Chains A and B, each alone.
Chain A
């Protein structure tokens, strides 16, 4: 009798979550639709002036993506708690942090990636200059996993509570301020023709830190939340 290797276990976890997401693929479209609708509301509210929309485009896309992710964050562990599979996962002879890392990866792939894919469309709706779009994509590629990782820790903390939606927003806001600042800062800098590498590097550094620490924190938070 030997335990499966880490790769086998990670693959099993990732495959499980992706299969589950695929069986409910209607849900994947929801955040995307939400983001598109919010983006469309801005020109209606502010008027269709090109210069104004151009100036706010980067920030609006970022905040919209963030809100769309926040909307879907709640569900990260909800069904696993409900049917007891999270307990089973905690008891499995595999490092919990790594398994949760796989869950977070699956969540990012199914929620954030579609949002990133349509972000050029959102940017185009707001007349963001085309040369800035690659910087926006890069910023999103670094900022969204950061949000998924931070969000996972907070969701794990609220697992034992009821009605965690608003609470989650309250908790996530202070944590995501740096990510928003640097991601939007990079886009704004690129738009003004300034060097944008510095904020992107800060985002990258924060992401590396979060990739290492967040799954561990998430595991610890879940153990606290289940221990009741």
Chain B
């Protein structure tokens, strides 16, 4: 990248790869992600997008290469809680209401400054469903509840696997809005998606995956 940057990137990958049963899931990747940036991870089905995000989140071990977090080797306790991951499984308890789910999450992570559960749930389109068990919500509403958790917790890097799935047009706009606000406030995000993303905050960085 440019030599002009003096600040270490938030996240830097050097020749990162991952093997499953000795078969490479994706070819060695190099990329940098700075605060305020959004990266789109692009690739076909099975190209390893989810694997990459799970590895960055720390759920999978680093196959090969190097991962740097603010210039230092990425370690679990160094960035615990600073990286949030939202995958296909939303991590919501079906027997708890959105409000209770958020309360558990804030109990573990803390609360982002200037947010509170009630107004956030209303803003995200779950007004009237705050105390309904998640089990009774539609797929899109569940997704919204998970997004509310994302907005609620203090973190720098968001790793979002297919955040647009199951969402209507308003929901997609909501995700884009959230991403803009997050990156605008000094956060960063990596997003995987098949579809085109209309991101208003400038051209996102693109990371191409080849199986």
A contact set with B: CB distance below 8 Å: 1-4, 8-9, 11-13, 15-16, 19-20, 23-24, 79, 82-85, 87-94, 99, 226-228
On whether the beta carbons of B109 and A227 are closer than 8 Å, the reply is: no
Apart from A82-B89, A92-B109, list 5 A-B contacts with CB within 8 A: A3-B110, A4-B107, A15-B107, A84-B90, A227-B61
Selected contact of B108 from candidates A12, A83, A228, CB within 8 Å:
A12
Chain B facing A: main interface SS: loop
Within 8 A of A (CB), among B86-107: 87-96, 100, 103-107
On whether the beta carbons of B92 and A94 are closer than 8 Å, the reply is: no
On whether the beta carbons of B91 and A3 are closer than 8 Å, the reply is: no
B contact set with A: CB distance below 8 Å: 57-61, 80-85, 87-96, 100, 103-110, 112-113, 133, 154
On whether the beta carbons of B60 and A93 are closer than 8 Å, the reply is: no
* Residues in B whose Cβ lies below 8 Å from that of A227: 59-61
On whether the beta carbons of A8 and B107 are closer than 8 Å, the reply is: yes
* Residues in A whose Cβ lies below 8 Å from that of B105: 88
* Residues in A whose Cβ lies below 8 Å from that of B80: 91-94
* Residues in A whose Cβ lies below 8 Å from that of B84: 91
Which residue from chain B places its CB closest to the CB of A23 in the assembled complex?
A: B95
Q: Report Cα–Cα, A174/B96, bound state, in Å.
A: 37
On whether the beta carbons of A94 and B59 are closer than 8 Å, the reply is: no
Given A20-B95, A92-B80, the answer on whether A87 and B89 have CB atoms closer than 8 Å is: yes
On whether the beta carbons of B81 and A84 are closer than 8 Å, the reply is: no
On whether the beta carbons of A1 and B104 are closer than 8 Å, the reply is: no
On whether the beta carbons of A90 and B107 are closer than 8 Å, the reply is: no
Given A226-B59, A227-B61, the answer on whether A85 and B81 have CB atoms closer than 8 Å is: no
Shortest distance from the beta carbon of B105 to any chain A beta carbon, whole Å: 7
Given A83-B91, A87-B59, A87-B91, the answer on whether A1 and B154 have CB atoms closer than 8 Å is: yes
Which residue from chain B places its CB closest to the CB of A99 in the assembled complex?
A: B108
Q: What would 6 A/B residue contacts be, using CB atoms closer than 8 Å?
A: A2-B110, A4-B109, A83-B91, A83-B93, A87-B59, A88-B91
Which residue from chain A places its CB closest to the CB of B81 in the assembled complex?
A: A93
* Residues in A whose Cβ lies below 8 Å from that of B133: 23
Shortest distance from the beta carbon of B80 to any chain A beta carbon, whole Å: 4
On whether the beta carbons of B91 and A94 are closer than 8 Å, the reply is: no
Shortest distance from the beta carbon of A57 to any chain B beta carbon, whole Å: 38
